[in-house]
């Protein structure tokens, strides 16, 4: 069992994903092949195995640079094509810590993120026609 654990640990995140998929399928080879084929899309089983390899490579890069630096770079690029308001809303919905959310918001909107309080009522503007007053 220790040998198996060492080999899976050597595979990293893809190995863990593969073990989870195998365990959830009840150990059935056909179910594992079907799962890998569905992950691979039009490339089938080979595409699924390639995707597991890609996940491993991405995991190594993220670990070496840090998630904060990667997210900042991604949102800097996206702010060139997407609206900042949309990105700020997307950041609010990310499953990350509040501290990291604030750092990302400050990074893409350095002027400052002003969140409107829910307690403030909306402002009402009254337009008066001057001709009807005379």
Are 88 and 105 a contacting pair, CB within 8 Å? yes
pLDDT tens-digit series, residues 81-115: 888 899 999 999 888 899 999 999 999 987 654 45
* Contacts of 43 by beta carbon, 8 Å cutoff, 6+ apart: 50
Paired tokens of 53 = 């390899």
Q: Which pLDDT score is estimated for 103?
A: 93
Residue 14 vs residues 4, 18, 68, 112, 128: alpha-carbon distances, Å: 14, 6, 22, 39, 67
Radius of gyration of the chain measured on its C-alpha atoms: 25
Please state the pTM of the whole predicted model: 0.49
pLDDT in tens, 24-79: 767 677 877 887 788 788 888 888 888 878 877 777 777 777 888 888 988 888 88
């Amino acid at each position: 069992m220790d040998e198996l654990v060492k080999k899976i640990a050597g595979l990293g995140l893809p190995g863990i994903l593969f073990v989870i998929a195998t365990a959830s399928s009840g150990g059935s080879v056909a179910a594992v092949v079907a799962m890998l084929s569905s992950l691979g899309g039009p490339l089938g089983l080979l595409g699924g195995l390639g995707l597991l390899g890609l996940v491993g490579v991405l995991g190594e890069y993220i670990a070496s640079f840090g998630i904060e630096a990667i997210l900042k770079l991604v949102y800097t690029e996206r702010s060139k094509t997407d609206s900042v308001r949309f990105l700020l809303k997307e950041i609010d919905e990310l499953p990350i810590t509040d501290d990291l959310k604030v750092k990302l918001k400050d990074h893409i909107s350095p002027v400052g993120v002003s969140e409107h309080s829910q307690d403030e009522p909306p402002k009402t503007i009254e337009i008066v026609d001057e001709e009807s007053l005379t």
